[in-house]
Amino acid sequence: MNRVFSGIQPTGNIHLGNYLGALRQFVELQETEECVYCIVDMHAITVPKPAEQLRESILDVAALYLAVGIDPEKSIVFVQSDVGSHAELSWILTCSSYTGELSRMTQYKQKSKNQESAPTGLFMYPVLMAADILLYDTNVVPVGDDQKQHIELTRDLAIRVNGKYGEDTFVVPEGRFMKSGARIMGLDDPTSKMSKSAENEYSRIQLLDAPSKIKKSVMRATTDNVGAINYDPENQPGITNLINIYSAFTDHDPQEIVAKYQGEGYGTFKKDLVEILTDNLAPIREKYEKIRHSDELTSILKDGAQRADAIAQKTMERVKKNFGLGIR
């Protein structure tokens, strides 16, 4: 059995990209693997937020994890800052990382905009992510395409440390990416990825959106002047993105979908997509409402933290021994 680890930042507006790129894999993998799923609150403070807002967002994402089908009997679900070893291992890994490789990270370059006032936390972010993964002797990391570079860095760090401090120090993990959900694009601009922070709320569909918002977002989605439904990422990126979403929810191959809509206009296709999305997201919203304010939610997270901590402690003992750290 493989150990699986992944995490999502706590913000209230988890969207179709997060779901199709990552969360759906989380649910699938728990049937066959040993899964550890984290709400990465320490990553979230790289962009400071009011404490009360962060606390609520942590519970929002925890409730969404359960609402999409993560089963706490099968998977460990916990909050990153409840297990102290994430920060501890992050420092140890920092000492084996290079400023050059960190400054080449695309997300850092985009977010820091080369400014001197760019937060150091943004720079160190991928090292904390590597610590999250390596702490659990992870074999497989289910994520969207945008995390590929961070997974590569995690592998580089693990291999580098193993070379210096002993091959048993870290398990070298692999990323796992979906075929038709790994990169869902913005509905208003199919050349940039669907994102939690884009200003236009119709650029994304959030898992908790009301049917009217889903409908508006899809019907407004940018297409093109070709007027025919083709799977053509280069020339028809808007309709191709919608086909990817359709395909991910129905398990129909993109080419099957193209064949089904031959001779139809965008309107018919979009209307069907609205129905598919509304039908699939309604049960998630219902389950979320039931669990979000329950006591069960906090007890699941506390239990998860204990189980995660037990695994993390073992890894830290081994890592510290190999590095010659501490005397206990």
Give the dihedral sign, CA 320/321/322/324.
Answer: positive
Q: Any contact of residue 132 with ligand TYM (CB under 6 A)?
A: yes
Q: Which is nearer to ligand TYM, 205 or 291 (CB)?
A: 205
Q: Which of 66, 140, 182, 300 forms a contact with ligand TYM (CB under 6 A)?
A: 182
- The contact pattern for ligand TYM, residues 33-62, with x = CB under 6 A and - = no contact, is -------x--x-------------------
Closer of 9 and 236 to ligand TYM (Cβ):
9
Q: Of 242, 253, 184, 191, which Cα lies nearest the Cα of 218? A: 242
Question: Tokens in use for 64?
Answer: 């969404």
Which amino acid would we find at residue 195? Answer: S
User: Residues 57, 81, 97, 147: which binds ligand TYM (CB under 6 A)?
Assistant: 147
Interaction pattern, residues 4-23, with ligand TYM; x per rule: CB under 6 A: -xxxxx-------xx--xx-
Exposure on the CB side of residue 1, measured as CA atoms within 13 A: 9
146 binds ligand TYM (CB under 6 A): yes
Report whether 299 contacts 259 (CB < 8 A). no
Which of 93, 105, 135, 143 is the binder for ligand TYM (CB under 6 A)? Answer: 143
**Tokens of residue 194, six digits:** 């669907």
Residue with structure tokens 């925890």?
62
Does the footprint of ligand TYM cover residue 133 (CB under 6 A)?
yes
Considering the complex, state which of residue 77 and residue 133 has its C-beta at the smaller distance from ligand TYM.
133
- End-to-end distance of the chain based on CA atoms, in angstroms? 32
DSSP 72: T
Place of tokens 């289910």: 142
Q: Which residues of this chain interact with ligand TYM, rule CB under 6 A?
A: 5-9, 17-18, 21-22, 40, 43, 129, 132-133, 141, 143-144, 146-147, 181-184, 193-194
